[in-house]
Structure 1
Amino acid sequence: MKKLITAINIEWLKIKGLGLIYTAIILGALIPFINFIPSLLSPDPIAKESLKYSIFEESISGSPLKYFTFFILLLFLIIAANRIAQTDHKNNGWQLMETQPVNKFQLYISKYVILLSLSFICIFSYFSFNIILSLAEYYIHPNPAKLLTFDVLWTLKTWIRIFAAILGIAALQLCFSVVFQGFIWSFLIGILGLGSNIYSIVEKKSFFFNPYSSLYTFWNAPEIRDLNYFISHSEYISFFWMAVFLVIGYFWYSKKGFKNAFLKNKKQIVISTVLLIAGTGLLYFIQKPKPYTSVGSETSISGTLETDLKIDSVKIVSKEFHKKIGAVAVKNNTFNWSTSHNLPLDEYILEIGNKKLEVVMGNGDWFDFDIKLNNTKITFNLKSNRKSDQVYNKTESSFGIDFWLALENQNLNNNPEKFYELALSDWDDNKKKLDHYANAENNGLSEDYKAYRKQLMAVQYLNEINNYRRMTSWSDPKFAPPKLFLNELNENILKPTPLLSKNDDYLQYKLDQMLTDDDQRSNTDSILFAKINLLPQGKTKDQLLSKHLLKSIEIQTDSAFRNKLFAAEISKVNGTDYKKMLYSKLEQINISQKGSPFPELKLLQDNGSSQNLSKYKGKYIVIDFWASWCGPCKQIRPVFETRSYQYRNDKNIQFISISLDQEKSKWLNYLKTKPSNIPQYWLENAEQFMNKYKIQSIPRFIIIDPEGKIFNFNSPFPDEDNFVEALDKLKKY
């Protein structure tokens, strides 16, 4: 050990004149300065409704951390490994060293330690400059959303993960820098490694034999709060390749060549072969996705809340029909809910105040949330045994980019052979991706969720094939899909999973299946109603009838015909939940259609007096529904002001602005800083109004006619050409 320390000290002295320490510091500081300078000159506006955040974590984590580790740190490893090795390639430096009282193993390991030490300095530089510059930016551009909190444990764990992720790559770069005297070969290998990772990002897949894949894995999961375990897949891969290339590099160097090291005699060949097989088996074991595991019969959800809001409880409801599954009290901003009742795999919603989080959950699952929220925004980190399902559900589509573009551009409508060839190829590729999918922690999909997604994928291809035939021809056989392809898709959904059976895409597929090619050329709506009503009573009939009835009333503009159609079909729906849903949808459509009476809103003025909306009866009222916490609302308000001035001489058009803020004080405070020439009002009990009209987002622009009826319930935005066209038409009324 003493000789190893001596060798390390000697190596450290040798690299002092190479400028590697300064290079490490400069490259580590590069991204922090790239981020800091633009924000110093032109800071990004941070809205008051933004979630509070640690300035240190914000500067270190996220995209900057990914780019630093993926590009900058890798580039430094390539440069440093070459420079360390090249100093001893010159003038037979290796042979001179070997005359010293240290063995070859100590010489080789000392160089690896030096390379890691320089990498440590580069990482230290990245963290240090981010901390210093973010602190400077905090005082130059203060904002209430910025916090000076510093999580030492998070910082330490993140640092260790970065360091662990590059151990294997450092061993590889040193290996090739030592065994090849020329600078170019090890440099090219490093660049090829970088290129392979860029390819992995684009194609969303990695190669199990790629030693650089630890950085790709890190790229997909840089945030430790999203990991079930601190030591994750990227670290295991890195440890494996570190051991492999330290062994290869040392023996190749010490035996003066690859053949002498591994293939000199039969014994070496046998040992090398055994090690190769064992290493390949271990790599296969490490890279093989870990199967989903249930924790038993109990399902649990726990979490912590970081918020200024008063949250008393968290509710768990089903996504379909919003049925209550459970509720738990929030104590000291933490909650913990569990149930031993059997929960089928389904989509559920966590309701936290006025915010919602969707999860795919089944019996025996556990979830641990770390949630930040305020009145307008919510973010979270999640740990779960079903984490892979959550990631796939949120990020993965059933179609590849080429097939999706073909659907969007409709550029293959006259080339059915090419369309189906592309569809079949895309289907095969996405089946493989689904079968071998694993998240960044190498957790595979659960079998029940995988079965659902494969069936859903088949349904979506079938629906697109039906859409393609609608756009082309139902009768011309050249536009018909290949039978083998069609049969394979249909075979996948012979036994639909419970989750698929209520999916909108599947229900649309079932409706399409009820129509013959001749039916497709006729009045499909009336034919479908007739065929659905012939089905036996049950859930399937209720699902299909509800789906088709809802679609029919949504596209119907004649309210009398819509209500007549609804009355004729609603009695044939037996399920109470489906009936309630349809009645609610009909009410929503009827109250928001053109010509429906708009409610008499009681509005509050900034001077404290109240005012009814009917004050403006006899004019077209252009209403801007907004809130002081809504960033897009505040961005569009100056345009709304401009439009109001543009139509100031039109006596039959009145612009007004109605705030939906929960707290009147926030609306008043905003008006003090941003006065307006447009009449400003505040609506009390705004949530009740939004719920009644199912207004999910703001800003929302609504036009009321002179009789107090809805003229346009979802008007274009003031910065759109359609807005001007709509208002120009009002001059003629």
Structure 2
Amino acid sequence: MKKLITLVHTEWLKIKGLGLVYLALIMGLLIPFTGFLFQVYDPRFLTSEDLPYSVFEEAITGNFKAFCMFLLLLYIVIAANRVAQVDHKNNGWQLMETQPISKFQLYFSKYLIVLILTFICIISYLGFTILFSFLDYYINPHEVKLLTFDIIWVLKTFLRLCVAVMGIAALQLCVSVVFPGFIWAFLIGILGLIVNTFSLVQRITLPYCPYNSLYILCKTPNIKSLNHFITYSEYLSLFWAIVFLIIGYFWYRGKGFKTAFLNSKKQIAFSSAFIIITAGIFFILQKPKPYVSKGSEVVIQGTIDTDLKIDSVKIFSKDFHKKMGSAAIKNGTFLWETKQQIPFDQYSLEFGTKKIDFMMGSGDHFKIEIHCNASNIDYFLTSNRSAEQEYKNKEDGFGYEFSYAIKQQKHNDDPKKFYELAQADWKKNIDKLSHYTDTENNALSDEYLTYRKQLLAIQYLNEISNYRKMTSWDDSKFAAPKVFLDELNSRVTNPTALLNKNDDYLQYKLDQMLTDKERLSNPDSILFVKLNALPNNINKDRLLTKHLVKSMELESDSTSRNQLFAREFKLLNNTDYKKLAAFKLEQLNISQKGALFPDLKFLDAQGKAHLLSEYRGKYVIIDLWATWCGPCKQIRPVFDTRSHQYRYYDNIQFISISLDESQSKWQNYLKTKPSKIPQFWLSDANEFMNRYKIQSIPRFIIIDPAGKIFNLNSPFPDEDNFIEILDKLKKY
């Protein structure tokens, strides 16, 4: 060990005049300093409704990808090359023959120097990021910015980064030893940077490329989203570090490829064994970790940091919103456990007006860290189903070329080209899905993978159906190749429970019930006849509900819609689907133009009650907003301007209705931001929004003089369509 320490000191003295330490500090400084300058001259727009956040944690993770994948990688390439060039220029290979020390220690000391320089660069990035975040906190102060400093989080992030670069450092030193000239080793390093950029753009993981460990690392910059802070990218890095340390050392000792690996039968045998063992270890290491159930019970535990009055969390099924259970929140923590058999499906964790969707089944454990206020939510979720949680919101979309061809209808006259594109795109997407893993190399469970493959097949089948509708159902030349069609259909022969409930699948099943000839006549009526002839079961109810709702949406008046509903509703047997169909009918009837709008009761800023009917005889332009809604406050001045423009038209009245939970917060806001438009507060806002399925604000509604809906989802006041509508309504 003493000799190794002496060698490291000696190597450090050899590179002392190369400026590598200064370069490490500069490379670590660049991104934090650039980000700080942007913040000084163009501060990030923040509102009091934003979630409080640690300025240090936000800055470190925010710039993590740019630093690691580009500047840090570039620095390792430069540092390794410069360290190796010292020996190349001073004939160090010859000199080591005269040294009374281990050649491995000589080589390993050079590797340690590269690592030390790289760690200095990482420390520089973390240190300068913390410094500039501190300065920004005082230069651009805001109530949501916090100076909370989690030293354990920082140390874990630093350690994770240090381990993740060890493989690349070993590879780059090895390459720099192999190639005496600076340029070739540098170009190989740049090639690694290009590979990482390719992975970033294409979202493809390439574990066989040592440089790609940094891309894998950067997929999840915050360790709070990981089950373990040292994970797949770090294990890959350690593997490549050992491999390239061995290769580099033998090359360094042998002064060439042949003398290092092929000089004797013994060396050839050793080299062959090394390749086989390395390949075997790599195969095991990169093999995705299968989903593992943690017993039979389900455990959901977590913490919640909020200023809202929330006393419990509730778990609901995504289907029909059925309550599965609840857990009390005590001192900001909650725990829900059940040994009840939970079918694998989509569920939601709900608290107040917020919710988190997730996949769950028996044997699953979840840990959730939640931060929320009235307008925003942020959370970190770890689980034995982490792959499903990461993938659940992804759409199995078509590739760019096929999507472009569909959008532009490029091949409506060339079915051969269309189906060639479709088949190539299908194979590419199914392969990508089959090899999908999350950041920690966890694979999707077999059940979920089967479902997503089936759903992908449905999307292609539905697109083929759309293509036939746009071209021809009669002409066989527009039909899909039998082999391709059979492959897609075979995927959905045995649909999973999840697929059976999917809207795209239900539409596919409805399409399958019609012949090409029937599609050309009266398909909706024919479908009802065929659906009614099916045996009574849950699948019939799903299909009938899907087609009934779609048909009701196409009806332009409530009388015809109600007649259709009355005729088909009695054929439904499942209670849940009966309720769903009835609810959809109510939504369509109350939301259509001409439907009676409720006579809302609201309060003004002084607490006096008012009714919407006070404005009968006028077109009422309603602005639904809240003080916590940033976009609402941005559009309010435009709404005020429009009100001023139409102030002389007696049949048009602008009003503003707040959906805030807190009446006092709304009143205080009006004291600082007064408006000439009548301002009201709706106490039962949630009930109103749920009834009309209003899921986002700002929302603008126009009510006619008789108190009926004129437009339930009007254009925004800064759009030309808004002015066009009001110009048609005004009375001179």
TM over 0.5: yes
Q: Distance in 1 between matches of 2:199 and 2:651?
A: 60
Name 2:76's counterpart in structure 1: 77
Note the residue ranges of structure 2 that are not aligned, 5 or more in a row. none
Question: C-alpha offsets along residues 613-659 of structure 1, whole Å, 9 cap, x if unaligned?
Answer: 22221111111000000111111112212221222222211111111
TM superposition shift of 1:98 = 4.9
Name 1:170's counterpart in structure 2: 169
TM superposition shift of 1:100 = 4.2
TM superposition shift of 1:220 = 1.3
Structure 2 residue matching 1:440: 3-state secondary structure: coil
**Amino acid paired to 1:425:** A
Which is worse superposed, 650-659 or 161-170? 650-659
TM superposition shift of 1:21 = 0.8
Structure 2 residue matching 1:442: 3-state secondary structure: coil
Name 2:352's counterpart in structure 1: 353
Which is worse superposed, 396-405 or 272-281? 396-405
Name 1:417's counterpart in structure 2: 416
Q: Distance in 2 between matches of 1:394 and 1:223?
A: 19
Structure 1 residue matching 2:341: 3-state secondary structure: coil
Q: Distance in 2 between matches of 1:254 and 1:478?
A: 68
Q: Distance in 1 between matches of 2:131 and 2:256?
A: 48
Name 1:402's counterpart in structure 2: 401
**Amino acid paired to 2:14:** K
TM superposition shift of 1:207 = 2.9
Structure 2 residue matching 1:587: 3-state secondary structure: helix
Q: Distance in 1 between matches of 2:394 and 2:131?
A: 35
Cα root mean square deviation, aligned = 1.4
Question: C-alpha offsets along residues 646-682 of structure 1, whole Å, 9 cap, x if unaligned?
Answer: 2222221111111111111111122122221222111
Which is worse superposed, 490-499 or 102-111? 102-111
Name 1:8's counterpart in structure 2: 8
1:157 aligns with 2:156: yes
Alignment of 1:247-266 (within 5 A): 247-266=246-265
Q: Distance in 1 between matches of 2:620 and 2:548?
A: 33
Name 1:220's counterpart in structure 2: 219
Alignment of 1:560-571 (within 5 A): 560-571=559-570
TM superposition shift of 1:439 = 1.0
Name 1:593's counterpart in structure 2: 592
Question: C-alpha offsets along residues 332-365 of structure 1, whole Å, 9 cap, x if unaligned?
Answer: 1111112111111111111122111111111211
Name 2:452's counterpart in structure 1: 453
The total of aligned residue pairs comes to 732
Q: Distance in 1 between matches of 2:467 and 2:731?
A: 42
**Amino acid paired to 1:576:** T
Name 1:603's counterpart in structure 2: 602
TM superposition shift of 1:202 = 2.2
Q: Distance in 2 between matches of 1:372 and 1:625?
A: 26
TM superposition shift of 1:97 = 5.3
Question: C-alpha offsets along residues 568-599 of structure 1, whole Å, 9 cap, x if unaligned?
Answer: 11111111111111111111111121111111
Shift >4 Å, 4+ stretches? none
Question: C-alpha offsets along residues 305-348 of structure 1, whole Å, 9 cap, x if unaligned?
Answer: 12122221111111011111111111111111121111111111
Q: Percent identity?
A: 61
Residue 262 and residue 524 in structure 1: after superposition, are their counterparts in 2 closer, same or farther (change >3 A)? Answer: same
Structure 1 residue matching 2:393: 3-state secondary structure: helix
Q: Distance in 1 between matches of 2:114 and 2:671?
A: 59
TM superposition shift of 1:101 = 4.2
TM superposition shift of 1:603 = 2.2
1:660 aligns with 2:650: no
Tell me if structure 1 keeps the 8 A contact 2:207–2:213: no
Residue 638 and residue 96 in structure 1: after superposition, are their counterparts in 2 closer, same or farther (change >3 A)? Answer: same
Alignment of 1:47-86 (within 5 A): 47-62=47-62, 64-86=63-85
Which is worse superposed, 97-106 or 147-156? 97-106
Tell me if structure 2 keeps the 8 A contact 1:7–1:102: no
Structure 2 residue matching 1:395: 3-state secondary structure: coil
**Amino acid paired to 2:443:** G
Q: Distance in 1 between matches of 2:260 and 2:132?
A: 50
TM superposition shift of 1:368 = 1.1
**Amino acid paired to 2:216:** T
Q: Distance in 2 between matches of 1:327 and 1:208?
A: 42
TM superposition shift of 1:396 = 4.4
Tell me if structure 2 keeps the 8 A contact 1:225–1:381: yes
Structure 2 residue matching 1:82: 3-state secondary structure: helix
Name 2:504's counterpart in structure 1: 505
TM superposition shift of 1:555 = 2.5
Q: Distance in 2 between matches of 1:645 and 1:516?
A: 58
Q: Distance in 1 between matches of 2:83 and 2:48?
A: 51
Structure 2 residue matching 1:283: 3-state secondary structure: helix
Q: Distance in 2 between matches of 1:522 and 1:552?
A: 16
1:628 aligns with 2:592: no
**Amino acid paired to 2:15:** I
**Amino acid paired to 1:536:** P
**Amino acid paired to 1:33:** F
Q: Distance in 1 between matches of 2:469 and 2:197?
A: 39
Which is worse superposed, 47-56 or 551-560? 551-560
Q: Distance in 2 between matches of 1:598 and 1:11?
A: 82
TM superposition shift of 1:400 = 2.4
Q: Distance in 2 between matches of 1:137 and 1:422?
A: 51
Tell me if structure 2 keeps the 8 A contact 1:627–1:659: yes
Name 2:273's counterpart in structure 1: 274
Name 2:25's counterpart in structure 1: 25
1:429 aligns with 2:431: no
TM superposition shift of 1:606 = 1.7
Tell me if structure 2 keeps the 8 A contact 1:60–1:127: yes
Structure 2 residue matching 1:621: 3-state secondary structure: strand
**Amino acid paired to 1:26:** I
**Amino acid paired to 2:193:** L
TM superposition shift of 1:505 = 0.7
Tell me if structure 1 keeps the 8 A contact 2:93–2:255: no
Name 1:135's counterpart in structure 2: 134
Structure 2 residue matching 1:394: 3-state secondary structure: coil
Tell me if structure 2 keeps the 8 A contact 1:622–1:703: yes
Q: Distance in 2 between matches of 1:491 and 1:387?
A: 29
Q: Distance in 2 between matches of 1:322 and 1:684?
A: 24
Q: Distance in 2 between matches of 1:103 and 1:687?
A: 75
TM superposition shift of 1:395 = 2.4
TM-score (norm 2): 0.98
Tell me if structure 2 keeps the 8 A contact 1:4–1:102: no
Q: Distance in 2 between matches of 1:311 and 1:476?
A: 61
Tell me if structure 1 keeps the 8 A contact 2:649–2:731: no
Name 1:390's counterpart in structure 2: 389
Structure 1 residue matching 2:335: 3-state secondary structure: strand
TM superposition shift of 1:557 = 1.7
Q: Distance in 1 between matches of 2:662 and 2:185?
A: 63
Which is worse superposed, 672-681 or 567-576? 672-681
Name 1:578's counterpart in structure 2: 577
Question: C-alpha offsets along residues 47-81 of structure 1, whole Å, 9 cap, x if unaligned?
Answer: 1111111111001113x111111111000001111
Alignment of 1:510-521 (within 5 A): 510-521=509-520
Name 1:44's counterpart in structure 2: 44
Tell me if structure 2 keeps the 8 A contact 1:317–1:326: yes
Q: Distance in 1 between matches of 2:42 and 2:401?
A: 39
Q: Distance in 2 between matches of 1:337 and 1:719?
A: 47
Tell me if structure 1 keeps the 8 A contact 2:651–2:731: no
Name 1:669's counterpart in structure 2: 668
**Amino acid paired to 1:428:** K
Which is worse superposed, 554-563 or 254-263? 554-563
Note the residue ranges of structure 1 that are not aligned, 5 or more in a row. none
TM superposition shift of 1:285 = 0.6
Name 2:114's counterpart in structure 1: 115
**Amino acid paired to 2:636:** R
TM superposition shift of 1:3 = 1.3
